Structure 1
Amino acid sequence: MQRQRLRGLTALIAASAALMLAACGGGGGGSNTTAPVPTPPPATGETPMTAQEAVRLLDQGGWGASEAAITEATQLGPKQWLLTQFDAPASTFANYSAEIHTAGLKDFCTERMLGSNCWRDYYSAEPLSREFYRQALSGRDQLRQRTAWALSQIWVVSGHEVEGTYGLRDYQQMLRDNAFGNLRELLGKMALHPVMGAYLNMVNNEKDAPNENFARELMQLFTIGPCALTPGGELDGGSCRATYDNTGVREVAYALTGWTYPAGGVSPWGKWDWTNATFLRGEMLADPAQHDQTLRSLPGGATIPATRTPRQAADAVLDALFNHPNFAPFIGKQLIQRLVTSNPTPAYVERVATAIASGSSNGIGSGKRGDMKATLAAILLDPEARDAPRADDPGYGRLREPTQFTINLLRAANGTTDGAPFYWWIGALLGQMVYTAPSVFNYFPADYPLPGKPDLAPEFGVANASTAMTRYNLGDGLFYWSNGGGISPDSSIPGATGTRTNVTSFESAADDPAALFDRIDRVLTGNRSSASTRAAVIDAIAAWDAKSYKDSYRRERVRTAFYLLLASPDYQVQR
């Protein structure tokens, strides 16, 4: 009966969560229990963060809080935390084999007798997804990982279309390695990466009949967007004035002809004409003989002369887009949306766009246009990110996307994972399989509207009754399955450890339901839960009374508090 009572309360909170979210949303492996490294004192003039301030920054600039991470961050001011993150060593994905494209076999899996998991292990993004979760959970480079994830949702490639674990790995590692570099350099590496060439059909484009797919998405989604913008990211003049047309798409497509795969691939069917066999590592190679040599016009008024190399043409295209007045507000707003809030004010967007253009913000940056450190400083140190009054605005914040929801809860609950459940199983059910977006528009478009409201709410693009129930079921699994909480290892994965939580440390606060709630709420929301949520969860905690459940009441109180808070809108909406 007691358990039924708790389940009934959970259902009520879950139902209210759906309604409250609709009102608020627009607005190798290891655990996070590794010993913290010593941190430097706050920068001169900076006040150390409070716990609430630290949790907000850990949510925005990383993969969420743990009690250890809060203790460490509260020794610092926000700027010093940022500088510490810039210096943290980068996490690195394993270097996967390229044999699928170098062995010269017609049927790699069959001829190598690798069994039913061959496609998973050599062709798909699943091995990367497992590493992604492990490293997000315990990596020191939280800001780098979170920034690279944001960039991967703007400059999308997907395992749905590109087959080759090693190539998908190299593309995503490139984003990590350059996450604190320069946006212009990143543009060049993105545009000429063979995975992008394969994904959007730029590779092997001949001068007489180029595929226009990459050219269109390069402008529409990757750099300037379809409509002229103000410096604050609003429609210039209040309506859409096109930044390019079909002729412009075709001009760019011609300018980007003559690129093929890097050397190294071997095809069992031999070589076709001027193209190289598929190989997804390195930078695409140019063949000048297959490059268009006609004078071409570019967005913004620039032109490319009739005599040029493929490299010169590609640089001219990317320079024109990078220096276009739309670039800074278009990219800046999307980065704000991915890290801080779905609906930044135009003033916030303009401040970030100014930092992109100037290469400097808050004393950080090289002074060169496109500096990513300056961009991140502008995003994360802005008053709209740091000040509590805006964070209490109902129109402020963002729904935690599935990856963030999962990693945040594991970090808060001292979890460990091998990352295995979060691809085909839970990731698919939540609508976000890592590095396997359903289209070039990402898992959800940046301009997805909150139903019935004028606000934007990108993450609600994958929010529905099914994904909501999966979130609740995941919380149930991590705190109640497998003899106390967790998901068992997958025996088909070498070295699998499963996924577990470890919340025994919270039992020391369990004799006082209010104190226990506040401690868990601190790590999950920064003590931002509403009074109604607090009251309901404390009542549910107290229902496990010490007299009736003397051997288990502390454990059950902790698990109940975590489960119900994870189901609440106070946790599911990042503020």
Structure 2
Amino acid sequence: MEGLTYRQASRFLDMATMGIKKGEVEEFLTLDNRTNWINSQLSEPYESHRERTLYQAQQRGNAVTTQEMRVCAWFDIALWEGAQLRQRMAFALSQILVVGDRDAQLTSYPEGMAHYYDILTQYAFSDYKTLLYHVTRSPIMGHFLTMVGNLPKSHTGVNPDQNYAREIMQLFTIGLEQLNVDGTPKLDGNNQPIPTYDDNDIENMARVFTGWFMDGSSMENPMIAYDDSHDMQAKTVLGTPLPEGVGAEAELDQVLDLLVNHPNTAPFISTLLIKRFVTSNPRPEYVARVASVFRNTGGNLGEVITAILTDSEVLKENDLHVAKVREPILAMTYLYRALDAKPGNNGLISFNAMLYKETFNQYPLGSPSVFNFYSPDHLPSGELESNNLASPELEIIDWNQVIKLSNIAWKVLQDNGYKTSSNSKQELYPVVSDFIAASNDYASLSNLIANRFLKGEMPADLAPRLEGLWNAKNSNNKPYAVAAMLYLAFISPSFMVQE
């Protein structure tokens, strides 16, 4: 038993799920143990995104799947299925091991994209090398970073494609600059950062990733290695000699060992995961503790996420180094989960993806480039930049996005909450009956909103605004204040900033 407060329990679940459902905080407080909760999540059964995408098509009466069905399948799983920590981890990994359906080669393969997301889901708690192995062999990644069909210079007369070679180092493992275990940069004698690799490393790494081809025309089956199309000559990567005569499969295994065990990978990946789950500005000591777990366990991601979410930093309050802006799409999944939204007319799937391309400026596997939707080190101009505080999510949050997200939220709460004149299965309907039942007593209603959306505490700046909305309705019309009060709580900084 940890003796967690309601706020601490709520904050933990907010980090570890796609949104807190009614009663989940109270249920967690009876357990009152973050490690035990995480352990149960590590082994909880989970649903396939590919199968759910096919189910989307079947429920719609379509013979062909689309990328929108894939995104709606993601919402189905995020909103209604278990294994929440695994789903949350897969979404975080999808922003590190990036592929994007905006790529012309991938747009027409929604099932292949869903299968790639299933790789992230299946190996979300495996060791990092295993995850990276399956990502590397995925034909989706092979096309996105142009590794599929890569041939050695002896076959073509030109150097092999360097795309995957560069990104597996820069983005997936060791990063651009040498790091201490706490994520701070190592500096040379001139007080300058030290590069982790050079052009020779890229050229030699590109030679490693030759000889891989699709299994027929499948965009789901792992790519197959052909040694007669692989560069079998000796290579040197990151100062490590790789002998000649080693086939593509065996050399891939050697290189993945080299990359995952590189001193940089633990702090680099640990920092990225901390930023996705807990805070945009982790203290070096926090990074060092998590990175040490990464190193000591061979990159076991189950152990790493446990270290991230059970660290003492997570329980700190009113601390700029334990805060982050909520990702737009996760704000929406929270709203739907908190209000137990379901399709009308006994529907079984999400039909409406909420104009996801414009509403959120992000969606699963929809990044415009391999660099994700935003930089993990983005410094917004103004006070944050002046204080050297990163806020990655603010790179995609602008007034246009805020207005569109707010409009979607208002429609959900106002039209679908208790004023609905129809019950279309193509809409998601939130359950606001408990808020309506409490609407005649401001204290009860305020407490309910605070518990569901604000970690059990009504902020001093928000309280008078909600009370003003409630007071504006006469005694017979108090239920009509509920939608506006929920909406204001949802769009408030107290909700949109996780701290």
Q: Secondary structure at the match of 1:303?
A: strand
In the alignment, structure 1 residue 450 sits paired with structure 2 residue 403: no
Match in the other structure for 1:274: none
CA contact (8 A) 1:49 1:73 kept: no
CA contact (8 A) 1:477 1:485 kept: no
In the alignment, structure 1 residue 135 sits paired with structure 2 residue 77: yes
In the comparison of the two structures, how many residue pairs are matched?
Answer: 473
CA contact (8 A) 2:416 2:430 kept: no
Match in the other structure for 1:437: 367
Match in the other structure for 1:254: 207
In structure 1, how many angstroms separate the alpha carbons of the residues matched to 2:441 and 2:53? 54
In structure 1, how many angstroms separate the alpha carbons of the residues matched to 2:327 and 2:336? 14
- Report the alpha carbon displacement of residue 174 of structure 1 after superposing the two structures with TM: 1.2
- Using structure 1 for the length normalisation, give the TM-score: 0.78
Residue type matched to 1:213 in 2? Answer: N
In structure 2, how many angstroms separate the alpha carbons of the residues matched to 1:138 and 1:506? 21
- Report the alpha carbon displacement of residue 528 of structure 1 after superposing the two structures with TM: 4.4
CA 64–449 in structure 1, closer or farther in 2 if over 3 Å, else same: same
Structure 1 residues 521-563: Cα deviation after superposition (integer angstroms, max 9, x where no partner)? 22112034531112222222222221xxx1x32x222212211
In structure 2, how many angstroms separate the alpha carbons of the residues matched to 1:451 and 1:528? 30
Match in the other structure for 1:415: 341
- Report the alpha carbon displacement of residue 411 of structure 1 after superposing the two structures with TM: 1.1
- Report the alpha carbon displacement of residue 230 of structure 1 after superposing the two structures with TM: 1.1
CA 215–70 in structure 1, closer or farther in 2 if over 3 Å, else same: same
Deviates further, 76-85 or 222-231: 76-85
- Report the alpha carbon displacement of residue 486 of structure 1 after superposing the two structures with TM: 7.4
In structure 2, how many angstroms separate the alpha carbons of the residues matched to 1:244 and 1:458? 25
Q: Which runs of 5+ in 1 are unaligned?
A: 1-45, 99-116, 266-278, 360-368, 491-495
Pick from 456, 467, 489: which aligns with 1:527?
456
- Aligned counterparts, 1:108-257, within 5 A: 121-122=64-65, 124-161=66-103, 162=106, 163-208=108-153, 209-237=159-187, 239-257=192-210
CA 419–240 in structure 1, closer or farther in 2 if over 3 Å, else same: farther
Match in the other structure for 1:365: none
Match in the other structure for 2:307: 378
In structure 2, how many angstroms separate the alpha carbons of the residues matched to 1:251 and 1:187? 19
Q: Secondary structure at the match of 2:366?
A: coil
Residue type matched to 1:474 in 2? Answer: I
- Report the alpha carbon displacement of residue 96 of structure 1 after superposing the two structures with TM: 8.0
Deviates further, 412-421 or 177-186: 412-421
Q: Secondary structure at the match of 2:51?
A: coil
In structure 2, how many angstroms separate the alpha carbons of the residues matched to 1:355 and 1:226? 22
Residue type matched to 1:561 in 2? Answer: M
Deviates further, 76-85 or 221-230: 76-85
Pick from 459, 463, 480: which aligns with 1:556?
480
Q: Secondary structure at the match of 2:333?
A: helix
- Aligned counterparts, 1:79-90, within 5 A: 79-90=35-46
Q: Secondary structure at the match of 1:329?
A: helix
In structure 1, how many angstroms separate the alpha carbons of the residues matched to 2:245 and 2:415? 66
- Report the alpha carbon displacement of residue 65 of structure 1 after superposing the two structures with TM: 1.2
In the alignment, structure 1 residue 322 sits paired with structure 2 residue 275: no
Structure 1 residues 315-360: Cα deviation after superposition (integer angstroms, max 9, x where no partner)? 122111101100000000100111111111010011100011112x
CA contact (8 A) 2:42 2:125 kept: yes
- Aligned counterparts, 1:48-59, within 5 A: 49-59=4-14
CA contact (8 A) 1:450 1:457 kept: yes
Q: Which runs of 5+ in 2 are unaligned?
A: 55-61, 154-158, 344-348
Ranked by relative contact order (alpha carbons within 8 Å, sequence separation 6 or more), the top structure is: 1
- Report the alpha carbon displacement of residue 377 of structure 1 after superposing the two structures with TM: 0.9
CA 201–291 in structure 1, closer or farther in 2 if over 3 Å, else same: same
CA 183–513 in structure 1, closer or farther in 2 if over 3 Å, else same: same
- Report the alpha carbon displacement of residue 566 of structure 1 after superposing the two structures with TM: 0.8
- Report the alpha carbon displacement of residue 97 of structure 1 after superposing the two structures with TM: 9.5
Residue type matched to 2:361 in 1? Answer: G
Residue type matched to 1:570 in 2? Answer: S
- Report the alpha carbon displacement of residue 84 of structure 1 after superposing the two structures with TM: 1.7
In structure 1, how many angstroms separate the alpha carbons of the residues matched to 2:241 and 2:494? 52
Structure 1 residues 422-458: Cα deviation after superposition (integer angstroms, max 9, x where no partner)? 36x1442320132211111111121111222111111
CA contact (8 A) 2:362 2:373 kept: yes
CA contact (8 A) 2:417 2:432 kept: no
In structure 2, how many angstroms separate the alpha carbons of the residues matched to 1:258 and 1:87? 36
Match in the other structure for 1:405: 331
- Aligned counterparts, 1:287-302, within 5 A: 287-299=226-238, 301-302=239-240
- Aligned counterparts, 1:60-99, within 5 A: 60-76=15-31, 77-95=33-51
Structure 1 residues 200-219: Cα deviation after superposition (integer angstroms, max 9, x where no partner)? 00000011131111111111
Match in the other structure for 2:219: 280
Residue type matched to 1:150 in 2? Answer: A
- Aligned counterparts, 1:339-488, within 5 A: 339-359=277-297, 369-385=298-314, 387=315, 390-417=316-343, 418-422=349-353, 425-452=355-382, 453=385, 454-482=388-416, 484=418
In the alignment, structure 1 residue 573 sits paired with structure 2 residue 489: no
In structure 1, how many angstroms separate the alpha carbons of the residues matched to 2:195 and 2:163? 18
CA 485–176 in structure 1, closer or farther in 2 if over 3 Å, else same: farther
CA 82–485 in structure 1, closer or farther in 2 if over 3 Å, else same: farther
In structure 2, how many angstroms separate the alpha carbons of the residues matched to 1:397 and 1:422? 28
- Report the alpha carbon displacement of residue 395 of structure 1 after superposing the two structures with TM: 4.5
CA contact (8 A) 2:379 2:390 kept: yes
Q: RMSD across aligned C-alpha pairs, in angstroms?
A: 2.3
In structure 2, how many angstroms separate the alpha carbons of the residues matched to 1:486 and 1:290? 62
CA contact (8 A) 1:171 1:195 kept: yes
Residue type matched to 1:455 in 2? Answer: L
Match in the other structure for 1:21: none
CA 500–560 in structure 1, closer or farther in 2 if over 3 Å, else same: same
Structure 1 residues 278-336: Cα deviation after superposition (integer angstroms, max 9, x where no partner)? x211211011111112211112x212111110011111221111011000000001001
Structure 1 residues 179-215: Cα deviation after superposition (integer angstroms, max 9, x where no partner)? 1211110011111111100110000001113111111
